[in-house]
Structure 1
Amino acid sequence: MTIGKMELLEAIAPVNRGLLATEADKQAILAAIARLEERNPTPQPLEATELLDGNWLLLYTTSQDLLGIDRFPFAKLGAIYQCLRTNDSKLYNIAEIKTLPFLEGLVSVSARFEPSSPRRVNVFFQRSIIGLQRAIGYKDPNDFIRQMEPGKFLPAIDISLSGNGEETASDPSRNRQGWLDVTYLDEDLRIGRGNEGSVFVLKKVP
């Protein structure tokens, strides 16, 4: 492990994905991220599909959309995953929610992505599912993604995010919700920056 990578992981270890980060912590972490991005070993990450593909566990973010989930009464953020299926150009964000016993929740969003540069993808959100883990039969991200086959009913709040519920390839701007840059990628660590200014640090997991 390189010194820069170790420095970043040590900086984010005590801040619980960013929930406990002070302003001083945030500045130190962003500086460590920038230093590591300068040493990116994969300058064209979208071509390195063998590295990109798989399940990624969120270690740190500045995204208030994600961190804000922890502020709801009786709800605490559990594990957050971003799962990439490069063969299908699909992305799945899955957040596990800790709450009262037997009422653990799940918030997920699926999207299609299209490369627009060697390190940037445009993201087209398609579907959001919010529900109880027990009702959905949630076991792990891989099993849940298999359940999200088109047309399969899930006992949850199931929302189409693609306008009329169908792909609009003839007018992709109707579905475009944002973009994501991959600014660092190696065999087990990925750093991304989103169109809203958020930063994401993720670790590859089975």
Structure 2
Amino acid sequence: MDQKAKLLGAIAGKNRGLLAQELDRVMILEAITQLEDQNPTPRPTEAPHLLAGNWRLLYTTSRELLGIDRIPLFQLGEIYQCIRTENQAVYNIAEIVGLPWLEGLVCVMAEFDVASERRLTVKFQRSIIGLQRLLGYQSPNQMIEKLAEGQKFLPIDFKIENREQEGWIDLTYLDETLRINRGNEGSVFVLTKSPDSPRI
């Protein structure tokens, strides 16, 4: 079994990390490290054709993201990080599921700059929170189109002007279908490229 298949097998059934026990986390982190050592794209920030797209979260150690699942009556749905290299934009989209007609959405817009051959600095700009049906949400691509058109959303849509809302991510593995990031807060993210990703 190659290292990529080993990692995908290790995170299968762990629900993005929510169901991972301590031993699971240790084994998964080891599999991640071994795959990073075989990164086929040593300068990922110079490969926009690979980096761009809609990336769906498979696994993370981020307490902030996994904590969304602890909201009463709601569960964490799909989480996407959509990268648009043509205008250096990032869209983090978290779907919240639960009671019928009360499915929610958290969307954070950011811009990124290339800091090195594998690091992106990220500055968060806008946050949107609401019910999917009130936002007219259908898919990440459709939501991003609305944002690009300058559409405003209710009930919560605000600019992020706090300079503390900045960070960076290191792209430690990147191929046509899989990406691994390590963030400035020590979290690790494993994502797979969605088939509906726009082509550049």
Q: TM-score range by the shorter chain?
A: over 0.9
Percent same amino acid at aligned positions?
A: 58
Matching residue of 2:64: 65
Distance of 1:175 and 1:181 partners within structure 2: 19
Hey, what does 1:86 align to over in structure 2?
85
Tell me the equivalent position of 2:142.
Answer: 143
d(CA) in 1 for partners of 2:150, 2:144 = 13
Corresponding position of 2:24: 25
User: What is aligned with 2:170?
Assistant: 181
Select between 87-96 and 146-155 the one with higher mean Cα deviation.
146-155
Alignment correspondent of 2:105: 106
Matches within 5 A, 1:122-133: 122-133=121-132
Do structure 1's residue 154 and structure 2's residue 153 form an aligned pair? yes
Distance in 2 (alpha carbons) for counterparts of 1:53 and 1:19: 27
| TM-score, normalised with respect to structure 2 | 0.95
Task: For residue 14 of structure 1, give the secondary structure of its aligned residue in structure 2.
Answer: coil
Instruction: Write out per-residue CA displacement over residues 86-130 of structure 1, whole angstroms, 9 at most, x where no aligned residue.
Output: 000000000000021011000010100001110001100000000
**TM-score (normalised: structure 1):** 0.92
Q: 1:197: which partner in 2?
A: 186
1:197 partner letter: G
**Which residue identity is paired with 1:43?**
P
One-letter amino acid of the structure 1 residue matched with residue 73 of structure 2: F
Partner of 1:167: none
Determine if contact 1:124/1:175 at 8 Å carries over to the other structure: no
Question: How many Å separate the matches in 1 of 2:133 and 2:43?
Answer: 40
Query: Within the alignment, does 1:49 sit opposite 2:38 as a pair?
Result: no
1:14 to partner: Cα distance: 1.6
Q: Distance in 2 between matches of 1:15 and 1:108?
A: 24
RMSD of equivalent CA atoms: 1.2
Amino acid at match of 1:81: Y
Cα shift at 1:155: 2.1
How far is the alpha carbon of 1:159 from its aligned partner? Answer: 1.7
Q: Which amino acid aligns with 1:183?
A: T
Whether the aligned pair in 2 keeps the contact of 1:102 and 1:134 (CA below 8 Å) is yes
Q: In 2, are the aligned partners of 1:113 and 1:124 still within 8 Å (CA)?
A: yes
Q: Which digits, 9 at most, give the CA deviation of each residue in 1:42-78, with x for residues without a partner?
A: 0000111000001000000000110000001001000
* SS of corresponding position for 1:57: strand
Local SS of the residue matching 2:26:
helix
Structure 1 unaligned runs (5+)? 164-173
**Structure 2: any 5+ residue segments left out of the alignment?**
none
Change (3 A) 1:159 1:177: same
CA offsets per residue over residues 140-192 of structure 1, 9 Å max, x none?
000001111364221230121124xxxxxxxxxx4761100000000000000
